[in-house]
Amino acid sequence: MATVDNPSNAVEWVLAEMLNQPILMQKAIEELNIVVGINRWVQESDLPRLNYVKACIKEAFRLHPFVPFNLPHVSVSDTIVGEKYFIPKGSIVLLSRLGLGRNSRVWEDPLKFKPERHLKMEDGGEVILTDSNLRLLSFSTGRRGCPAVKLGSTITTMLLARLLQGFTSKFTMQ
C-alpha cells in the first residue's frame, strides 16, 4: 500500500502547499534549473543536490502524513525511549504521526508549511527524508520500519522534481 500511496500523498500535499505559497514553487523550480538545467529531465544522480525539493517533501511528511498513526506494537521488554519515557514490558505502543509532526515543543509554527526548517544551513549537508530523532515519521521506524526507505525517497523526489519540470510554465511567478 505505502509503496505508491505515501510518495503520491506527499507530492500531492507539496503541490497543494506550493499553490498556496507560490514562492515555494519558484524556489524549487530555481533549484531544479540550477542543478539540472532546462534541457534535460532530472536524473537519480541529481537528487543529492536537490535539497530544497527534498525539504519540501520532508515538510509534507511532517505536516500531512499519509496515515495519522503507526500500527500498534507491544513492547517485548522494559525500555526507555528518548532518555525520558519508560515503557514497561507488555505495553501497547501507538505512535501518532500527526502528534509528532505538529508538536509545538519541537517545531516552531508547527501548522505552517516551511521547508526551510529542514535545510542544513550550517554545513550544507544533504536533506534526508527520514528523521532519526523521531520528530517525524516518514517511513516508520525500528525493526518493522519500511524496508525500502531509499527507494521510497528516490521515487518521491523524482516524482515531484519531474512534475515541477514538466508542468510549471503556467504557474511560475512573474
Question: Binding site, residues?
Answer: 146
Greatest Cα pair distance, the chain, in angstroms, is 59
Measured from the Cβ of residue 128, the count of other Cβ atoms closer than 10 Å reads 15
Q: Crossing angle, helix 149-166 and helix 2-20, to 10 degrees?
A: 40
Q: Residue positions in the annotated binding site for heme?
A: 146
Per the CB < 8 A criterion, the answer to whether 62 and 101 are in contact is yes
Measured from the Cβ of residue 144, the count of other Cβ atoms closer than 10 Å reads 10
Nearest residue to 160 (alpha-carbon basis) of 1, 28, 4: 28
